[in-house]
Amino acid sequence: MSELILHHYPQSPFAEKARMMLGFKGLAWRSVSIPAIMPKPDLTALTGGYRRTPVLQIGADIYCDTAAIARRLEQQQPTPALFPAGLEAVVTSIAQFADQILFQHGVAINFQPHGVAERFKDASEAVIKAFVADRKALFEKGNANRLQPSQALSQWPTLLGRLERQLGQRGSFLFGEEPCIADFAYYHPLWFVASNAAVANALDPYPQVRSWMDAVAACGHGEPSDMDAAEAIEIARQSTPTGLPDTAFSDPAGFEPGQAIAVAAVDYGGDEVAGTLIFQDEESIVIRREDDRAGTVHVHFPRFGFRMTART
């Protein structure tokens, strides 16, 4: 079976979510380093234009968004379960809340002036300017607005206070004695705050949250080993995408397999990825595309949070 290849960079909170899920599953994986800002020519050779971080590659199958990555990892290694039986609706809904709302808070808290000064203390003026311009462009394609630090600070005690009380009363993890997808989604925005010395004190009033974070962090990152981007692209070129199951799924919007479409995230980083729709079900959309460097690849997206547009 092909290796798991994660395209990511160290400081990315969503990449940390993916690394932690790999650790939770006890998996070995290959680590390809990608730039934190555009251009990302090696990544987009695989994805067809999707630029967000992280992306999982297995041979010629490319998984965009940690929601798609989580489901693929669950298939790879069903236990321990990210989606505990009987709790799927609640754990995925809570994860979605954390990935959107808590994440916005973690970012806004980091991007207070003293947080920016700490995060970029070793960066040149040019690097900071390029980063700011890149993130402005990221939000131009999508319907999400950035949360202002003042609003994030105002709401932080609500979000963290609820978590602190729940953990104090129930202990362990969010849904029982083992972590699940909800824990990893709650963890990565808080890890982003904890990893910035200038703002980490936002966690000080919450000792239960801190010990839960330590318990989640104990899952580790599995067994990563480095790989070059060129090697990852060559692996895609030499691989055949895996077969897809037959599905009786009927798309309410009328998109049919074989149709030329483009897929894009609706919230931010909404660069369109064009290809042929080859599979969709309740959770996923898969397109086939040809790339000069990567050959024939299947690019997998979550259905929720992505839109399809017909191409002629």
Contacts (CB under 6 A) with ligand GSH, residues 41-70:
51-53, 65-67
303 lies in the binding site for ligand GSH (CB under 6 A): no
Minimum CB–partner distance for residue 70 and ligand GSH (Å): 9
Binding mask 138-177 for ligand GSH (x = CB under 6 A): x---------------------------------------
Tally the C-alpha atoms within 13 A of residue 66's C-alpha that lie toward its C-beta.
26
Beta partners for 58?
4, 61
The dihedral over CA atoms of 221, 99, 268, 297, expressed in degrees to the nearest 10, equals: 40
Strand, helix or coil at 310? strand
99 lies in the binding site for ligand GSH (CB under 6 A): yes
Minimum CB–partner distance for residue 74 and ligand GSH (Å): 15
Minimum CB–partner distance for residue 237 and ligand GSH (Å): 24
Out of 4, 7, 13, 152, the only residue in the binding site for ligand GSH (CB under 6 A) is 13
285 lies in the binding site for ligand GSH (CB under 6 A): no
14 lies in the binding site for ligand GSH (CB under 6 A): yes
CA distance 120 to 115: 9
Strand, helix or coil at 231? helix
Chain centroid offset of residue 98 CA:
12
The DSSP annotation for 40-58 comes to -HHHHHHHSS---S-EEEE
Contacts (CB under 6 A) with ligand GSH, residues 252-271:
269
Best CA proximity match to 232, nearest among 41, 93, 19: 41
- Residues forming the site for ligand GSH (CB under 6 A): 12-14, 36, 51-53, 65-67, 99, 138, 269
